[in-house]
A and B are shown apart, each in its own frame.
Chain A
Amino acid sequence: MTGTINLAGTLADGAQQATGVANLAWLLLVLPAAGAAVLLIGGRRTDKWGHLLGSATVIGAFVYGLVLFFDTTALGADDRTRDLHLFDWISVNSLSVDLGLRLDPLSLTFVLLITGVGSLIHIYSIGYMSDDRDRRRFFAYLNLFVSAMLLLVLGNSFVTLYFGWEGVGLASYLLIGWYQGKDFAATAAKKAFLMNRVGDVGLALAIFLMFKHMGSTSYDVVFAEIGNQSTGVVVAIGILLLLGACGKSGQFPLQAWLPDAMAGPTPVSALIHAATMVTAGVYLIARSSPLYSLAQAEDARFVVMIIGAITLLIGCVIGCAYDDFKKVLAYSTVSQIGYMILAVGLGPAGYALGILHLLTHGFFKAGLFLGAGSVMHGMNDEGDIRRLGGLAKKMPITFITWTLGYLALIGFPFLSGYFSKDAIISAAFSAGGGRGWVFGGIALFGAGLTAFYMTRLLILVFLGKPRWEKLKSEDGRAYHPHESGPTMTIPMIILSIGSVAAGAILSGMLPGWLEPSVGELAEVHGPLSHTAVSILTVGISAIGAAIAFAVFGRREQPVTRPQRVSWPVRAARADLYGNHLNEALFARPGVWLTRFLVFVDNRGVDGVVNGIAAGLGGSSGRLRRLQTGFVRSYALSMLGGSILVIAALLMVRFA
């Protein structure tokens, strides 16, 4: 109830009560949610203007987000953290959870990212989904997602975060399963939801621990009290939060759902599975920076870094082997988020860098996906890069915007990725000692791999000779690649501008801006200077790209993937056996166990009951045979009974 807020108000770093224009922050949630509600309840009646309403609400939210942003920047750095109490949500005695919003630089950054990219993708979707008779519903789901995502980043307690957290999971489920008439889409959606739930359990348990030890789940109280907790509690909470982050952000060992999620329409992949939702894990850890920054959380941080490093490698390696346009991008996303997680795992030295990479990645990866969508839109939804090629001439705008995004991603000097990724690699080297060398090395190696697989993608899709001319798509149509319409190209252009410029603009401003939320960006000095790392990174990326050119650029590529390949490629094609492992460890034993339990329930538990009943019936059937109908046998039984009774009486008396 209000108790927590008052309590928080007394804390030095607590939040202030929101005033003025910030009082309307609930509009951020309600606008898209109302749009979704109208579209869902209105049904077919809203078909004509549904997409417009959907887009308008998100754009409206973006505009309000901008207003809020400038409203906040007008305040002093200490006053930039504001809380808005909406209503008591769950309140039982000592447990009290408000539905409240936390308006601070971190959340506002995300608000702008979500509504900004969201708006662009809404606009893009108007064109992309124009053939779908359920386009209205698609926009409703997108709006639902935006609303839930905003709740995730705006909530001022871990429970509200959890609310949004599962809400985006639902939206993601609905959108991955958009083509629900297809089994693979439905299965992918279910898989995504389930793996997310596994992560959610971690988040939930972390919340339970907070309640048990700190009596509250609000950011204010938890962050104020976390310093007084034992190392065990801190580490446990830290690792459980990380588990949540792993689920949502597709981190090892819960990364397998993200590539499958590409079964959804491409705008979904761009918005949810590249730019925003999957980065929620990074947000969570950055948001929990007061916890991770503690000295007691050293071990938790280390685990975070390990997870980030493993994931970034896995993503890169698998990305090199895939032939599906979107899945390569998806593994690229997995790997880039690995970078972010690695960054936030560094602690105060990395929170801002992780967020920075998150933002730049949001621009270029969304742009890359939209480009992929544009290609597929023009190519009868063909996603196999081996059947593409030479599209640069057919789709010039797509090609240019995509290439800009590509360059940004591989860290081409002075484009976005250069600033954000290099900073992370540099920070990783400075993690200290052998640890620094290992993490830095992995990050550096990852940069090279990234350049390799992205270049491979570029070559196979846009350059070289067209391989599609003699082929037909699955539904039997010939390919007639063409440039997409303006509703699709304009968002791509805007995003490509962002890909080019965002890094340069943000890298200077962001750490200072985020300071009230995640603390000061710690200056670190590693064994290599920042410049050296930059040069190394660019060099290794260039090598990666060069190798890709050497392998794929010089000779004709087959239309079907070669089967006789070396074992690393086979392993990478099989997702490094992640799915096999899941299958062997969980799915199949689960099925067996279920069958066994069904058997136990029917034959065992119920069998006992029915067995008792049958036993009674059977003994009844046998016993009634004793009632022979012969009067003499009756007399015998009476005599026997009498003897027993008398004998028993005498025994009781004399024995």
Chain B
Amino acid sequence: MITPSSTGNWLLAALLLLPLVGAAVVVALRGNDHVAKLAALAFSLVEFVLGVVAWIQFEPGGARLQQGFSLDWIPSFGVHISFAVDGIALVMIAVIGLLVPLVIGAGWADKVPEGRTKGGFFALILLEQALTVGVFAATDVFLFYVLFEIMLIPMYFLIGSYGGARRQYAAVKFFLYSFLGGLIMLASVIGCYVLAGEELGKNTFDWSELTSVVSKAPLETQIWLFLGFFVAFAVKAPLVPLHTWLPDATAEAPIGVAVLLVGILDKVGTFGFLRYLLPMFPLASKELAPLVLVLAVVGVIYGSMLATGQRDMKRFLAYVSIAHFGFIALGIFAFSSQSMVGSVTYMVNHSIATGMLILVVGMVIARGGSTRVADYGGMAKLTPVLAAMLLIAGLSSMSLPGTNSFISEFLVLIGSFPNAPVYTIIATVGMVLAALYVLWLYQRIMQGPLRGDALVGAAGGPGTMIDPEIGAKRAIADLNGREKLVLAPLVLLIVGLGLYPKPVLDVVTPTVDATMCQAALVDPVQSAPSAQSGERQSQCR
């Protein structure tokens, strides 16, 4: 049980409720697009500020779960509405707070399909924000499950109502995949609950209490329960071969939604690995680690190769993410604090880098009106700033040193190497492939002579005007002020966190240490004075 701390109490509640209120307000205002947009932006900005405040108030060396509050919900099951954050949840909530205003800003001028309103779109985004914040902050497993499932619904409508041509297929596929995974997890959730009920003699869904009971269960029990959770998280994450919903969903979703989908929603899976799988099922985690590692490494290579084989930019982005999620899973199941911290920072940095990549690709698509790579070529000539942005996002995606993603990929790999050298070596091949697919995309779209239907040909329809001065369509202009404003924070973070990742590392490391401790894991490479670690062994935070 979490005892409410004096300061965090209102803060987390506000973080959860504000987007909900925002969604309601925006829906109410949807008659007037402009006002609704402003309201949505305002709410998301305030939420961002709250997230920053939460970060500042978080004490990295303090209790495992902080800023918590708890209310009774269903007493007969011992279900509580209890939220709190640890370092991992905190950084993810901060990322959500960062991305949502940017997504709103990026989608500011996009047209919505006929019969829909901008207000409805932004309201759904705010709703999704509230739910995802809840998923990361929930400390009651029942509550987690509930939020885990219902966060599908706004996303389902975001894809289905505002998406591309095959949006129905994509939305249903997305929903069914996640829902089936969630249902299988439900079986495990109930299993843990039943187990805890037998052990403790009382009904509880409290994460800490469940963890303390389930982690002592015999291996076989743990394996079954582990698998239930794992399937749900692996679908979300997505690990090969449960990934095929993502390319379809990403390809059909509007750009902003794709950012949320890949940047936030999918992170719930890897978050679940860390928060639920390792602490709750330490024996099973160790037993099944090779399985996950294989899937992770396969994901790295497979996702990378498929990314190079895509003809559609948005599908490309999905496969890039699949490769990246392979790295994240590798880091988590390589069982060292470096690799796990790497994975958590990877989650953050992937949101920033891939989020930016998606936004930039969206800007490309908005100009050319086509998602096919083949419709572009030599665009840098027309839009040098846009090209630079694509390159920066791409470089971060391939984890170039100096960008944020390098820190995480480096930590994942160097941390994984001592425990899982073979997997790590295979995964390093992904580094080369990452360069291959990023540069491939950049070359096809931005470099070479001006070409492609989207820029000079017929893709825009017969009425498209070719501007004689630039030799391309009139619609092809470089980034405007709003777009620059949207991308600027991301560029700053990419470079800033690449050079000085300490703020993130310091917040994440204690939580990862606690997770390692709960899972009875010891770093393969100990720091020289080992007395400290021995002391840490004695009790987990």
Contacts and interface: CB of A to CB of B under 8 A. Distances in A.
B73 interface: no
Contacts of A194: 432, 435-436, 439
B183 to A, nearest CB: 15
Nearest to B339: A92
B305 A594 contact: yes
Nearest to A180: B447
Contact of B401 (A7, A91, A166, A177): A166
Given A93-B338, A181-B448, A190-B439, A197 B431 contact: yes
Given A93-B337, A94-B525, A186-B447, A598 B505 contact: no
A208 B414 contact: yes
Interface stretch (B3-11, B52-60, B91-99, B405-413): B405-413
Contacts of A609: 173, 244
Interface string A149-164: 0000000000100111
Interface stretch (A13-21, A82-90, A449-457): A82-90
B533 to A, nearest CB: 8
A183 B449 contact: yes
Contacts of A215: 525-528
A91 B302 CA distance: 31
A207 B414 contact: yes
A182 B451 CA distance: 12
A211 B380 contact: no
Contacts of B524: 212
B500 A593 contact: no
B111 interface: no
A546 interface: no
Interface stretch (B224-232, B275-283, B352-360, B417-425): B417-425
Interface string A588-601: 00100111011001
A558 interface: no
Nearest to A607: B244
B505 A170 contact: no
Interface string A75-104: 000000000000111111111100100000
B501 A90 contact: yes
A506 interface: no
Given A194-B436, A204-B428, A597-B305, A212 B337 contact: no
A186 B305 contact: no
A7 B528 contact: yes
A8 B341 CA distance: 26
A267 B196 CA distance: 71
A338 interface: no
A594 B308 contact: yes
Contacts of B406: 163, 166
A182 B528 CA distance: 54
Interface string A191-207: 00110011011001101
A597 B302 contact: yes
A205 B427 CA distance: 11
Given A91-B505, A201-B429, A182 B448 contact: yes
A189 B378 CA distance: 15
B378 A181 contact: yes
A605 interface: yes
B185 interface: no
B395 interface: yes
Interface residues of A, number: 58
A134 to B, nearest CB: 8
Contacts of B113: none
B306 A597 contact: yes
Given A92-B338, A180-B446, A162 B401 contact: yes
B154 interface: no
Contacts of B436: 194
A605 B241 contact: yes
A34 to B, nearest CB: 13
B240 interface: yes
Contacts of B241: 605
B417 A94 contact: no
Contact of B432 (A3, A162, A197, A595): A197
Given A88-B502, A91-B502, A181-B449, A159 B410 contact: yes
Interface residues on B, range: 35 or more
Contacts of B443: 186-187, 190
A209 interface: yes
A606 interface: yes
Contacts of B525: 94-95, 211-212, 215
A167 interface: yes
B501 A190 contact: no
B440 interface: yes
Contacts of A93: 337-338, 509, 513, 523, 527
A208 B406 CA distance: 14
Interface in B473-506: 499-502, 505
A400 B309 CA distance: 52
Nearest to A202: B428
Given A162-B401, A594-B306, A597-B302, A181 B447 contact: yes
Contacts of A96: 527
Contact of A193 (B308, B421, B439): B439
Nearest to A162: B401
Contact of A90 (B244, B381, B411, B513): B411
Interface string B515-530: 0000000011111100
B161 interface: no
B310 interface: yes
Interface in A231-249: none
A182 B525 CA distance: 49
Nearest to A165: B401
B400 interface: yes
Nearest to A214: B525
B401 A180 contact: no
Contact of B410 (A90, A181, A593): A90
Contacts of A181: 378, 381, 447-450
B402 interface: yes
A211 B414 contact: yes
Nearest to A166: B401
A7 B509 CA distance: 23
A605 B240 contact: yes
B381 A606 contact: no
A541 to B, nearest CB: 40
B415 interface: yes
A189 B438 CA distance: 13
A201 to B, nearest CB: 5
B448 A170 contact: no
Contacts of B414: 95, 207-208, 211
A183 B448 contact: yes
A89 B410 CA distance: 12
Nearest to B416: A208
Nearest to B302: A597
Contact of A204 (B411, B413, B418): B413
Interface of B: 173, 240-241, 243-244, 302, 305-306, 308-310, 337-338, 341-342, 378, 380-381, 385, 388, 395, 400-402, 406-407, 410-411, 413-415, 417-418, 421, 424-425, 428-429, 431-432, 435-436, 439-440, 443, 446-450, 499-502, 505, 509, 513, 523-528
Interface of A: 3, 7, 40, 43, 87-96, 99, 159, 162-167, 170, 173, 177, 180-183, 185-187, 189-190, 193-194, 197-198, 200-201, 204-205, 207-209, 211-212, 215, 590, 593-595, 597-598, 601, 605-606, 609
Given A7-B528, A215-B526, 11 more contacts: A87-B500, A93-B509, A94-B337, A96-B527, A99-B499, A181-B449, A190-B439, A205-B425, A590-B305, A598-B309, A601-B244
25 contacts: A91-B502, A93-B509, A94-B337, A94-B338, A96-B527, A163-B401, A166-B400, A166-B401, A166-B402, A167-B400, A173-B439, A177-B447, A189-B439, A190-B439, A190-B443, A194-B432, A201-B429, A204-B431, A212-B417, A212-B418, A215-B528, A597-B306, A598-B306, A601-B302, A605-B240
CB-CB nearest 6 A-B residue pairs: A94-B527, A186-B447, A208-B417, A606-B244, A163-B401, A594-B309
